[in-house]
Amino acid sequence: MGLKFKISGRISKPISEVFEAVANPDHLSRFFTTGGAKGRLETGAVVKWDFHDFPGAFPVHVVEVEQDKRIVLRWDAAEDTIEPDASGIHRTTVTMTFEPISDDRTLVCISEDGWSETPEGLAASYSNCEGWTGMLCAMKVWLEHGLNLREGFYK
């Protein structure tokens, strides 16, 4: 069994607005992908995300999108942090769920799994947990207050 984590937070916006902030690359680029996002998150798509703290756009494989409910992604991990799948690919799986708490409040949960139970896998999982926690905080502040927490943070 590989290493995994799950984080969650509540955003005071309707579920459709919160979901769109992740699925739409123009929105995602405003608060998370500091180097930009290319491509809408749709089932079967391969989009590109770029970050100032990890320069160089990389592919994100969209496994499943259920409008206003769920997004499942797979992305590459370092070879020494994860066992390859049957085709020899080293990827973790990210699952985001969106649940309405009320008409204007949404619970977002983000989990990621698949790292090897090794010191390298543990370090990589902690790093990604930090990244997703930062993303969720940045999304909340962007959607609720229009402020970009990541601007200038990594440059």
Q: Domain spans of the chain? A: 3-17+63-145
Task: Tell me what pLDDT residue 155 has.
Answer: 67
CA gap 126, 7 in Å, rounded: 12
As beta bridge partners, residue 40 has none
How much is the CA Rg of the chain, to the nearest whole Å?
A: 15
- 97: tokens are 């769920």
Please check the confidence at residue 87 and state whether its pLDDT lies above 90: no
For residue 81, give the DSSP letter: G
Minimum mean pLDDT range among 17-26, 115-124, 127-136: 115-124
Handedness of CA 154, 135, 129, 46 (dihedral sign): negative
Please check the confidence at residue 96 and state whether its pLDDT lies above 80: yes
Model confidence at 112, in pLDDT bands (50, 70, 90)? very high
Instruction: Report percent pLDDT > 90 for the chain.
Output: 73
Task: Tell me what pLDDT residue 76 has.
Answer: 87
Q: What is the dihedral of CA 75, 41, 129, 105, to 10 degrees?
A: -170
Tell me how far apart the terminal alpha carbons of the chain are, to the nearest angstrom. 37
Residue whose structure tokens are 């229009």: 146
Is the model more confident about 54 or about 5?
A: 5
C-alpha closest to that of 134 among 38, 53, 20:
53
Per CATH, which fold does 3-17+63-145 belong to? Answer: Alpha-D-Glucose-1,6-Bisphosphate; Chain A, domain 4 (3.30.530)
pTM of the model: 0.93
Residue whose structure tokens are 């070879």: 79
pLDDT averaged over every residue in the chain: 92
Task: Tell me what pLDDT residue 49 has.
Answer: 95
